[in-house]
A and B are shown apart, each in its own frame.
Chain A
Amino acid sequence: MSVRWQSLIVGLACALAGCGGDGSQMRFVENSTLAKPVHRKARVVVTKQLEEHFGTPLNSVAWLKLPVKYGRAEGKVTAIEDQTVTVELNAESADLTGFDAADFAGTELLLTSGANQGKTVTLVTFDGKKKTFEMAASDVVPAVNDQFVAGGNVLRHGRKLYARHCQHCHGISGDGDGPTAKYLNPRPRDYRQGKFKFTSTAGPAGKATRDDLRRIVGQGIPGTYMPAFVPMLKDGEMTAIIEYVRWLALRGEVEWQLLGQFKEDYAADRAKKEAKEPVDQAKSAVDQAKLAIKEIDETIKANTDESKKAELDGSKKEAKAALAAAEKELDKAKSQMSAKETEAEKQLDTQLKEFEKAGLAELLEEVTGDLADKWNAVEEEGALIIPEMARVPDSAESRKNGKELFFGKVANCVNCHGLAGKGNGAQTEEVGKNLRTGELYPAPGLYDDWDQPIKPRDLTRGIYRGGRRPIDLYRRLTQGIKGTPMPGAPKTLKPEQIWDLVNYVLSIPFDPSTPKAAPAHSVVGQSGEKGHAN
């Protein structure tokens, strides 16, 4: 697709009831954990970029560089009469059908060729049969044969549905921190890392496919508070919500990347650090001078040779002078510190401004390009994890093999899932290290990429969050669960061995040797899982 233009605005008019005032409650919030170590000026730059490319919740921007199906329509103007623009849509952009004419109120039509290239007109309605747009009065008048882009209805529709069904848990920004979130365990997903746990795609970095999201939204996640939305949501509604969630995830990821980049170059304490540097240097010079005097003193004390005394006294004098000079230098450095800090702040500001002018666009290009590649890659044929062989028939022997693997050194499931598969393995008693911050976790046990305590699945319950089909378990076993300590099986395991493990895991709830009564074992706040097998 040609991306000469950047984006089109997909306003969500506040005409609906329940959207009172200026909508100030509806704001995207900053990823504060990430933003904290970043300089406030750099944070402003990030916020500005996000607002430019994503808009606000009520005035979303369909940034065309993102791998989101906004419901875009492309075509050319064939006639124009007063405010009515008759158009011809390109063959492949038939996705305007199925939307109410009213959905177009307030959206923009972006002209991509002709005299008004890059300009937009605001639309009032769209007549699907006559293929005409009604546009609001504007200085910009499209001409016949002008190319255009319009639409974004999927995003609008998704926004409304998300607000109604998802937002109270997953939050306006998709940060998993809506008003009802704090009552839930496990916590609702924070999309902003672009990580979704249960996917059918490879590796820890594999994004979720649209079908993965559809499955989760449609079927829910048993054992959690994510309910099933089918049949309440119809097909088109599901599509809209999924695209909106992708859009939110991408927004979070762009924010993540930008803040990550700025943390290196524009740290919050950069100016202070720079200003303190001469002081630190002077301080160490003073320390060294003091040390030198001390050494000379010791030499003098130990000295019995009269002839050397004069020489030593001389060097002591010299050392004292050096100390005085160093102390003077330190005083000077201290007095200049605040000026230096101001200077450093100024320098940072200039550098940031320059970067905004020169490097930022490139960085964004790189970030979005990379994200688009990743999200698009999983939609391609062959991205799905399909076992090399059909399931090994579920026999006693296969289960026995699986059990051996479960307890074996290679797969080592027992380490986390425990001897009885109850999710209380040795690893859950150990204090782990947060690989992102390098700090130890506050309490023993496992943690996920969102820094939430997480308990290995209790396999005796027969509740399978990512689905109970053999293929689901195969994928969990081979690819791990994204964002969690559940790793993918080592590559040395053969498909039939994975199937043996699947067969064993599926048999655990019915294994008479499994102790039935659950021990009152508790890892921080893991009381939320309820229910019998399902």
Chain B
Amino acid sequence: MRKFWCGFFIFWPIAAVVYSAVSPQFNWWFPGPSVTELGQRIDNLFYLILIIVTAVFIGTQVALGYVLWRASHSKAERAWFTHGSHNLEVIWSVVPSVILLFLALYQMDVWALFRVQSFFPKEALNAPVAEVTARQFEWRIRYPGLDEHGVPKKLHLKPQPDDLYTVNDLHVPIGRPVMINLRSDDVQHSFFLPHLRIKQDAVPGQIIPIWFKPERQGNFDLACAELCGWGHYKMRAQLIVEREVEFQAYLQKLRADQNYDGHATPSAVAKKDE
């Protein structure tokens, strides 16, 4: 029986380590490398913590296994008891504190880039591409209108007559920092782009800017990561990263669709009095 428990407690940590090690091969891990460089850095932070806790985990498990194994082999040797060691306590308080402090300082620039507006790339901060409004149970998206050259205008906080609307379909250009303004119409939602390692709560009454610089073209999931009601699962949208020209063409098509009046060529929509 002693051997059984010895084996039992040694088996599980080994199984956990093996499971984690093979996970990426079976797609039980991140959904591929991050589409943004910042996401890559967030991954790196994650891996750093993972390595530290894995080392601690393996160390403690090996110690535990060793104790169990030794005890199961000798009936003569008795366990000894201690009522505290000041030195040990200092060590296991100071060492984790140092590690935590190191992590807190080490991640600061990533955090600042991700969350603190003064660190956002200026070009993104000054020209948000779209406003994304979460509502039960969809993502409503508003792009600014286009000027006479087909270039997006400035996005205003208040809706403008020539704004372009779409739902569940967020297009952004590749290779430059873009920012969206996140809002909520009703309850708390969470804007989750797993491939970009972005997760940000949408809070009613607040406009929360989120920036990212997508480096890979493709169609990525946009999901809600905050249980927001019975239709929470329905908030499945897509983020489409495309080349600048495609993005512009998309907006132009959006404009043509939105101005469709039943005749093949969308009529000229001259806003003469604005």
Contacts and interface: CB of A to CB of B under 8 A. Distances in A.
Contacts of A219: 167
A468 B258 contact: yes
21 contacts: A220-B167, A228-B167, A228-B168, A231-B168, A232-B168, A232-B236, A386-B262, A387-B261, A391-B259, A393-B270, A394-B269, A394-B272, A462-B159, A469-B257, A469-B259, A470-B261, A507-B161, A530-B186, A532-B133, A533-B159, A534-B133
Interface in B210-237: 230-231, 234-237
Contacts of A507: 161
A219 B133 CA distance: 15
Interface string B241-274: 0000000000000000111111101011111111
A532 B140 CA distance: 11
A390 B258 CA distance: 14
A232 B234 contact: yes
- Residue from A222, A227, A396, A474 with most neighbouring chain B CB atoms (10 Å): A227
Nearest to B142: A534
B161 A506 contact: yes
B262 A387 contact: yes
A62 to B, nearest CB: 28
A273 interface: no
A225 interface: yes
Contacts of B201: none
Contacts of A530: 135, 185-186
Contacts of B200: none
A534 to B, nearest CB: 5
Contacts of A227: 136-138, 231, 234-235
Nearest to A502: B261
B140 A534 contact: yes
A98 interface: no
Interface of B: 133, 135-138, 140, 142, 158-161, 163, 165, 167-169, 185-186, 230-231, 234-238, 257-263, 265, 267-274
Nearest to B133: A534
A230 B167 CA distance: 8
A387 B263 contact: yes
Given A468-B258, A471-B262, A530-B185, A231 B133 contact: no
Given A225-B231, A393-B267, A474-B262, 17 more contacts: A228-B167, A230-B168, A230-B169, A231-B168, A386-B262, A387-B261, A389-B263, A390-B263, A390-B265, A394-B271, A468-B165, A469-B260, A471-B261, A471-B262, A532-B133, A534-B140, A534-B142
Most buried by A among B135, B158, B230: B135
A327 to B, nearest CB: 67
Contacts of B163: 533
A165 B234 contact: yes
Contact of A531 (B135, B158, B271): B135
Interface in A433-488: 462, 468-471, 474
B140 A391 contact: no
Contact of A391 (B167, B230, B267): B267
A507 B273 CA distance: 11
A82 B22 CA distance: 48
A281 interface: no
Contacts of B231: 225, 227
A206 interface: no
A531 B133 contact: yes
Most central of A387, A462, A506, A531 by chain B CB within 10 Å: A531
A169 to B, nearest CB: 9
A355 interface: no
Contacts of B259: 391, 469-470
A177 B224 CA distance: 27
A231 B261 contact: no
B138 A168 contact: no
Interface string A497-528: 00100000011011000000000000000000
Nearest to B258: A469
B167 to A, nearest CB: 4
A323 B231 CA distance: 73
Contacts of B165: 468, 534
A180 B230 contact: yes
A387 B159 CA distance: 28
